[in-house]
Structures are given as structure tokens and as C-alpha cells.
Structure 1
Amino acid sequence: MANLSLQSISMSFEGKKILEDIQFVVKDAEFVTILGPSGSGKSTLFHLIGGLYKPEQGHIFLNGEEITGKRGSISYMPQSPSLFPWRTIVENVLLGAEIVGQADKGTALQMIEKAGLLGYEHAYPHQLSGGMKQRAAFIRSLMSPQPLICLDEPFSALDEFTRVEMQKWLMNIWVEHKRSILFVTHNIEEALFLSDRIIVLSNRPATVQKEFHIPFKRPREESLLLTEEFLAWKKEIYNELRVIV
């Protein structure tokens, strides 16, 4: 169970206001995406939620407990897979759970198989493709005990076809495990395809400009990307972002 609440979050760096009065929630088992122009503070938000920074103003709660400035409350997956090159794939997958003494190799091997990585569990990161590394990194996030996963543009470095395949894989895994996910991307199609809600941030100092509730039923197929309804939603969100920039 994971219910995240950001209340009146403001943050500055070197005298420049980055975030101002940010407020939103992520409900249990919900997939929420943050969209915004470059430099709007999306990654800064993740650092605040993860406790790497402490906001100048405001509070962050997870399941009713204040986690403002507190580390270790969330699972975080950055743009790069960040796998340790000296650890095998199964060892990398188990890392987060291992740190808190909850390593379960049997479950890890089952998830590696479901991720299409069977036969690579004892391989090293340099032996895997970019998409395979991302799958391993996401399994590591799922294996970690924290109830909320923050994904910071995890597919941005992948080619278009690999990216779509990874999006479909992520959705299938998420539907099965129903963890709360907060996702950052610059890609409108990706946000629409994956999300229950999309939060659009303004330029700096970033505020919540608009929130979209996405109506597409799950499971979602790749064919959805070419429907008139999907393209209409993409146009509406594009126009919202265009006003901002």
C-alpha cells in the first residue's frame, strides 16, 4: 500500500526558485506521470520525495507518515539502469532487498524469467542490451520493499521500437504487481499510454499547471496509439505544454 501526498512544496537553488507550492497525491496502486518542459524541476521533485533534498517549505507524506528529508522511503530508478558491473543480473536485482535483509532469490529468478531474461541471470550488465538492462533495473525496484517506485525517464535512451516494447512490458508487470508508480517523461505518447493521471508542470518556478485523468481501459494494446481518441488526447496535452513553453 502506498499513498503519497505532497503539500505546498517549494524549493530554490542558488537563490532561484525551482518549485513553488507543488501539491498533488499518488493513490495506492496508481500510475501517475509528471510532464513538463525541460528544467521545470521534475527530477528535483524526485530528489525531494527520496529525501536527498529537504524543501524550503512544505511537507511530504507516505501512508500518513511524514518522510520530508527522510531517505530510504521510496524505490528510485534513474534514466540509466545503474547496475553494478561487478554483480550478476540476479545479484543486481536482489540489491535493494538485500540491503534491508529481505533477499528472496527464488522470487527474483521467477521475475527475471517473466522479464524475458531467462538464461541471463548469471550474466553481467555489459552482456545485456539497453532494454534488457532496463528490465533488470525495474525488477530491482519491484524487489525492493518500499511501496512507491519513482521512475525518472527510464526509457529515454532507447530506440523507438525498443521503447514501445518496454512500455508494454512495464504495463504488464505493473498490472500484475500493482505498485504505486510516479513516472517522469518528456514523451506525451508514453505518458498517455502508461498513466492513470498526468500532472503537467509549468515553467520555473514550477507549479501544477493542469491534471489530466486518462480514460483508456486496461489492459492497453499498442493499437491504441493510432486511434482517433488517443490522438485527440495527445493534441490536447501538447497544446497545454505549448502554452507553457
Structure 2
Amino acid sequence: MAQLELQNVSLSFGEKQILDSVNLHVNQGEFVTILGPSGSGKSTLFHLIGGLLQPEKGSILLDQNKITGERGHISYMPQSASLLPWRTVLQNVILGQELTGVKDTAAARQMLQKAGLAGYENAYPHELSGGMKQRAAFIRALLSPQSVICLDEPFSALDELTRLEMQKWLLSIWQEHQKTILFVTHNIDEALFLSDRIVVLSQKPARVLREFEVPFPRPRSEEILLTPEFLEVKKEVYYTLKQGASMS
């Protein structure tokens, strides 16, 4: 487990400012979601955390150690499953371990079984449904040695029912392993259902508008989505998000 922190992070591409003094933190074992308008720079934050981009100002710390511009400290799962088509499911999920020279195929097989992918270890990505591919991609992230996982809208391409099933599955796996997760979405229901905290960003240049502590106890079931309490918090998040979308 690990603590991740961004301190006054700013970034521009040419004359266009993307991020403006963004501060956020994710505590050990916490599930934090970044919520913002489309194009607000949510994915750019992940590229900065992963060391693919360098901020103009500010610092990124992991366990109080500065990792600004450094790669290899986080496990990253993009919107598409990004499984290698020439590798089997088992070979895909142990890829992160292979890169560090430590393979645990027994643990990988156990995780695949828990994910409902038993019997598909030797299948190739084109033989899987969208939900199965996402499960395999998340297991790959979970089995990687890094203690922080960044998930970039991993369920956005799935239909509503499959998406909800994947959210419930993700919660069950995360609660078992308690890794530190930073999640990006523009779906308010998803953010509230999954998270401990929600960080709402404005439109570009992105600033942190507000943080919400999600008040619902764990474990959570889908019934919570239709309760008056859930809808009340959703309304508050929605109006904050709407405010952020109108800023320039």
C-alpha cells in the first residue's frame, strides 16, 4: 500500500493551460475518484503521475518521496483493456510481474478463477467479451508489483448492466486486496458507488473545485443507487460538476 500526493501541479501545452495548481492526495488503501467534465485534463493527470509527462510546476510524491517525471511507480489501466493479442489471458495478466522478473502463475490462476475466467487461461483476447477483457486487464494491474493503481475510465465502453456488474466485481476484489486506487470517470453514479472520496475538477485549466467524502458504508450493493440519500448526494455532486463545466 502507498500514499500518493500531488502538490500544486500545473501543466500547459503551448499557450493552452491544462492544469492549474492541482492538489490532491490518496491515502494508503483508499479509493479516490477524479470527476470532471470531458476534456478537463483527468487523463493528463495520470500521464503526469506515471512519469509520461513532466509538470511545469509542482511535485508528485509517493510515500513522501518525490517521483515527478519518473516511470514505473504506478500500475495503469487505460479505457481499453489493452491486452496483447498474441499472448494468452494468463500470459497477459502476469506481464507486469514478468517486467520485474518475478512471476507467480499460481496467484494469477487463482485470481482468474475468482474473476470468473477459469478455463480461459489459454484463450486469446479476441475470444473474450468486453467485460472479460476488462477483468483480465484489472487482474494484470492488481498483480503488478506497484502498490498504486490508476484506472482511467475502464468501464466506459461497456453497456449499463455489464458496467454495474464490473463495478461490483471491482469493489469485491479491491476490498479483499486494499490497494491504493485513483480512478477517473465522468459518471457520477459510478464515482459515488465506488469511492471513499471524490475530487471534482473544473473545465480547463483544471482546478480542484471540491472534495466529497462519500457517506455510504461498505460493503455496498446496487440497491443504494436508488435510495433518497444517494440521489441527494448525487444532486450535490452534479451541481458542482455543472459549475465546473461552465468555468473557463
TM-score w.r.t. the length of structure 2 is 0.98
The answer for the alignment partner of 1:52 in structure 2 is: 52
Q: RMSD of the TM alignment (CA)?
A: 0.5
Deviations 1:139-196 (A, max 9, x none): 0000000010000000000000000000000000000000000000010000000000
SS in structure 2 opposite 1:219?
Answer: coil
**How many Å separate the matches in 2 of 1:15 and 1:144?**
37
The answer for the alignment partner of 1:162 in structure 2 is: 162
Shift of 1:241: 1.0
The residue identity in structure 2 corresponding to 1:229 is E
Shift of 1:128: 0.3
The residue identity in structure 1 corresponding to 2:87 is R
Q: What runs of 5+ residues in structure 2 fail to find an aligned partner?
A: none
SS in structure 2 opposite 1:111?
Answer: helix
Shift of 1:244: 1.9
The answer for the alignment partner of 1:228 in structure 2 is: 228
Deviations 1:2-50 (A, max 9, x none): 1001001000002111001000110000000000011110000000000
Deviations 1:71-113 (A, max 9, x none): 0000000000000000000000000011001110000000000
Shift of 1:203: 1.1
The answer for the alignment partner of 1:28 in structure 2 is: 28
SS in structure 2 opposite 1:200?
Answer: strand
**How many Å separate the matches in 1 of 2:65 and 2:169?**
32
Identity %: 66
**How many Å separate the matches in 2 of 1:102 and 1:41?**
34
The answer for the alignment partner of 1:84 in structure 2 is: 84
The answer for the alignment partner of 1:99 in structure 2 is: 99
Give yes or no for the alignment of 1:189 onto 2:189. Answer: yes
**How many Å separate the matches in 2 of 1:184 and 1:12?**
20
**How many Å separate the matches in 2 of 1:236 and 1:62?**
31
The residue identity in structure 1 corresponding to 2:107 is T
**How many Å separate the matches in 1 of 2:42 and 2:241?**
14
The residue identity in structure 1 corresponding to 2:17 is K
The residue identity in structure 2 corresponding to 1:37 is P
Correspondence list, 1:97-176, <5 A: 97-176=97-176
Q: What runs of 5+ residues in structure 1 fail to find an aligned partner?
A: none
The residue identity in structure 2 corresponding to 1:99 is L
Shift of 1:242: 1.3
Give yes or no for the alignment of 1:63 onto 2:63. Answer: yes
The residue identity in structure 1 corresponding to 2:144 is S
The residue identity in structure 1 corresponding to 2:158 is L
**How many Å separate the matches in 2 of 1:199 and 1:101?**
36
**How many Å separate the matches in 2 of 1:124 and 1:65?**
39
SS in structure 2 opposite 1:138?
Answer: helix
When the two structures are aligned, how many residues end up with a matched partner?
Answer: 245
TM-score w.r.t. the length of structure 1 is 0.99
Shift of 1:65: 1.2
